[in-house]
Structure 1
Amino acid sequence: MDKYFVDLENIDIAKYIKIAQHIKKLIDDNLIEDGEKLPSIRNLSKLLKVNNVTIVSAYKKLESEGYAIQKVGSGTYAKRKEIAVNLKKRYGEVVRKISSEEMKKYIDFSGEAACSDVFPISSFKDVINKVLDRDGMEALAYQEALGYEGLRKSIDEFFWDNKIGKDNILIVSGAQQGIDIASKALINVNDNVVVEKPTYGGALTVFKWRRSNIYEIELEKDGMDLNKLEKLAKKNKIRCVYIMSYFQNPTGISYSIEKKRRLLNMAEIYDFYIIEDDYLSELIYNNNEYVSFKSIDYNDRVIYIKSFSKIFLPGIRLGYMICPKIFKESIQNSKVNTDIATSSLMQRALDLYIKEGMWKEYINVLNKVYKDRYMFMKEYLFQLKEYIEFYSPGGGLHFYIKLKGTKVNCMNLFYRCKREGVLITPGIIFYKNPEEGLNYFRMGFSQVGEEEIKKGIDIIKHILEKD
């Protein structure tokens, strides 16, 4: 029992969190073995001189983070996460070793960015030349902290009907930077952050860096399970909720208008903020009306983040943020401290591209091309119906697939597919506890045409049939 002792004096965080952190370290350091029974609630509370509720909360936190399993009538048992963490690490190492030249040899279902073959590069070159002729060296100079004023005006006019105001828009280098900037301005150590389950791995990484307490709430067909979120909010002070409003990564799920309104109302009642990552709302194939959380945010509770990289050109690395007035100054300071300024030339080029109507034409082309691919992949995935289940999102750039009726997990499938010249994205990267994603994988269609989709799915089918 001595190894469980932890000094609870002179600390700034809740005692149950300190206890959970201590036990997690014991598990990670192999001082508590995988499957070892943890002390009873009564014995540990007596040792640490705290009440039983504190130990119950500590054990619940361990369980929520994948470090413990509760067995009814038996007690709580330690669970090591090394296997799952190593899976995630190995996947990352494999992907990083694939060069851009080697990538051309694969049927790439792992890509998320817009297909470069569709992008009108000659038109964009003309736009860049016009900007250089018009602005000269000024086009290459640093801009004010908020970003190029012309682009902020265009965003406000073309995307928000002049309802936001250019001074409330901050230009950033893509959604990942936006999430990082928002978290620095909003989240302190041990703040409670809620994410969808599963969710974008890059957001999980940012929130872990901030040393926040991350709670996952399962997704339903029309968004996060708000009943579970409300139960959590009644017992815990939530700082923010991170959501992807349209065609969520990885599930493809979009929020219903009813859930949008209820979540916004809950944010006001329970005093938390919503980080809205507007992922792929331009690519709606089922004619549903587009309504962002921010557009109905009457209580100023939403930090809105939009990237142009996924639908424009990933190398451009441009996006923007709109934040509540209470965080405006701290978010701007966070941006300046991060990288001073985003590419002036690309901001001016995008501004002109939007103003001259090219953006709207390009999005119309993308919708036509991707809708055709979406429908083709959706139909052809039924070739695998004996081995998989999948949800039809009605837009976006990917399908999230659950394995069934096979002993193959997503990592086995990833390695075997790679050997056959096919890349998929294993589900482990979308969960705080990677093991929970072993039966899932994501397949995107932005980088592949119909022939490649057919060939790639045939290869996957052959692999699953051999199991």
Structure 2
Amino acid sequence: MFDPYVSIQLQRDHPLPLYQQLYLQIKNTILSGQLENGQKLPPIRGLASRLGVNTVTVVQAFRCLEREGLVIARVGKGTFVSYPAEAAQTISASPGTAVPPEFTPDVPDNWQVPVPPEAVNFATLTPDAELFPVDDFQSIINQVLNRDRGEAFGYQESQGYYPLRCSVAAYLSQRGINYDAEAIQVISGAQQGIDIIARSLIVPGDRIFTESPTYTGALASFRSRGAQIQAIPLQADGIDLEALEKQLRIHHPKLMYVMTNFQNPTGICYSPQKQAALLDICRRWNVVLIEDDSFTELSYDGRERRALKEQDEDDRVIYIKSFSKILMPGLRLAFMLAPRHLLPQLMAAKHIADISTSGLLQRAFDLYLRQGLWKTHLDYMKKCYLERYRHILESMRRSFPPGVTFQEPEGGLCIWVQGRPGLSSNRLYEACLANQAVIAPGSHFYPDNSDSSFFRLSFAALSAQDISQGIPIIARQLKMSPNPGIDPRQRYSPLL
């Protein structure tokens, strides 16, 4: 007779407590259909004895299952599966949806560093407030208030204001991404989108593949759900496919997170060949991709870049697109396209997170798109940032000492710099901060927070004058530094 508990293995050296390991393994057994609805679970004492743990461990695991609605405890009779087989098959066909009730998230204490008032801030990706289209947006908001009156301040449906979703669908179709409004989920910024995915699809112990280096906010969201991060190195034209396939032979990830155009922090763009190859690999290994797209439109070389989602023939890419990063970050406005079978889970998580994104801002941005103001502002931003991009590159070429190298990304808002071999960018960060310049050291962007000779410079918030003032400060610290060695024990959380 088949014993569904024979495969349970608890590891005392695992980062998850024993009861969480047991909870997850029994849950998977239920969702896979190995335990049928109404089937009785083993007695607590008997299972504890069999697994070599105390009874409290089993009690805690059973409570997690009960709170999630997977089992029901009947006094004097035992604990029974209370999950229909058809529901189990639906859930098991897609990533998991729950986190153990007692799970304590591992969230960084501080994502920011103090920035002195007079310091030149090369660390932030927040755009220069002088570039915000305040007058246009004020006019748009007044139009919305005159038209909609009090309705503009009510809750919208959690999926988002329907006319805005239609406008977004029309905008996407111009880029070759053809989805109707029903497939679009409005979210309060790209970070919320990543967090919603993590909350609804990741359970402790799941493995997530990411580029290395990658966006710190994504790493923090995945870690907050107890995920194990597997870093895949980047090459000049995108992720290292050989390293990816090597890891896929060892681990099967729940999700894979990528930024294919003007990647943060490196500025790398995937080549068309690498995009196609990545999709093919994920298709063969049945991997769900998260594509984070914030900067594709900020191209300075006149070339149009394609998103993975545009080529997603079998609906396996969760596509997150931020508008507020380029428009006005405080708007917290973005949207998400997800595979149809995952959308209900993500919509439910969005509702739990904040019910709905601001109705006033959704209505305003809908008009902003319909009246063509987004394109006008985007063209203006590209012109302004092209000038700053050229200026920072010129300043770096003129000021940085030999042995310091960087690639010209041809778009986006940041430049990834490599110091001399053995340089500690953590210590360089401290030296620059003491001299009124702020950089983002590379340790912030690697899953293990390891120190390196890499650091990120952003020109998002800086004028040409700021750049001319700040780059020589960094250059002096690079020249004055006695090539300090990397200290692997140091951990930093600098400004995003």
TM-score normalised to the size of structure 1?
A: 0.78
- The code of the aligned residue for 1:415 comes to E
Which among 274, 280, 305 is matched to residue 290 of structure 1?
305
Cross-structure match for 2:93: none
| Alignment: residue pair count | 388
Cross-structure match for 2:171: 158
- The code of the aligned residue for 2:407 comes to Y
Cross-structure match for 1:401: 417
Cross-structure match for 1:302: 317
Question: Is it true that 1:335 corresponds to 2:350 in the alignment?
Answer: yes
Cross-structure match for 2:463: 449
Shift of 1:163: 2.1
Give the distance between the partners of 2:284 and 2:9, measured in 1 at CA: 24
- The code of the aligned residue for 2:412 comes to G
* Contact 1:197–1:431 (CA under 8 A) maintained in structure 2: yes
Cross-structure match for 1:253: 268
Give the distance between the partners of 1:12 and 1:208, measured in 2 at CA: 27
Question: Is it true that 1:144 corresponds to 2:157 in the alignment?
Answer: yes
- The code of the aligned residue for 1:432 comes to P
* Contact 2:261–2:268 (CA under 8 A) maintained in structure 1: yes
* Contact 2:16–2:204 (CA under 8 A) maintained in structure 1: no
Shift of 1:186: 2.2
Which among 120, 124, 130 is matched to residue 117 of structure 1?
130
Q: CA offsets per residue over residues 310-355 of structure 1, 9 Å max, x none?
A: 1010110010000001101111111111111111111111111111
- The code of the aligned residue for 2:379 comes to N
SS at match of 1:238: coil
Cross-structure match for 1:374: 389
Give the distance between the partners of 1:11 and 1:137, measured in 2 at CA: 61
Question: Is it true that 1:177 corresponds to 2:192 in the alignment?
Answer: yes
* Contact 1:113–1:309 (CA under 8 A) maintained in structure 2: no
Question: Is it true that 1:390 corresponds to 2:403 in the alignment?
Answer: no
Shift of 1:387: 4.5
SS at match of 2:130: coil
* Contact 2:435–2:473 (CA under 8 A) maintained in structure 1: yes
* Contact 2:293–2:319 (CA under 8 A) maintained in structure 1: yes
Cross-structure match for 2:291: 276
Which among 113, 137, 140 is matched to residue 127 of structure 1?
140
TM-score normalised to the size of structure 2?
A: 0.74
* Contact 2:232–2:239 (CA under 8 A) maintained in structure 1: yes
Give the distance between the partners of 1:192 and 1:411, measured in 2 at CA: 28
Which among 333, 337, 341 is matched to residue 322 of structure 1?
337
Shift of 1:217: 0.4
Unaligned runs of 5+ in 2: 18-51, 53-106, 482-496
Q: CA offsets per residue over residues 167-208 of structure 1, 9 Å max, x none?
A: 100000111110111122322222221000011111111111
Runs of 4+ in 1 over 4 A off after TM superposition: 10-15
Larger % of helix: which? 1
* Contact 1:307–1:318 (CA under 8 A) maintained in structure 2: yes
Identity of aligned residues (%): 35
The verdict on how the C-alpha distance between 1:149 and 1:93 changes in structure 2, with shifts beyond 3 A counting, is closer
The verdict on how the C-alpha distance between 1:323 and 1:89 changes in structure 2, with shifts beyond 3 A counting, is closer
- The code of the aligned residue for 1:458 comes to P
- The code of the aligned residue for 1:445 comes to F
Q: CA offsets per residue over residues 270-318 of structure 1, 9 Å max, x none?
A: 1110000012101011222221011110010000001122101011001
SS at match of 2:244: helix
Shift of 1:229: 0.8
The verdict on how the C-alpha distance between 1:156 and 1:338 changes in structure 2, with shifts beyond 3 A counting, is same
The verdict on how the C-alpha distance between 1:440 and 1:387 changes in structure 2, with shifts beyond 3 A counting, is same
The verdict on how the C-alpha distance between 1:11 and 1:440 changes in structure 2, with shifts beyond 3 A counting, is farther
- The code of the aligned residue for 1:129 comes to N
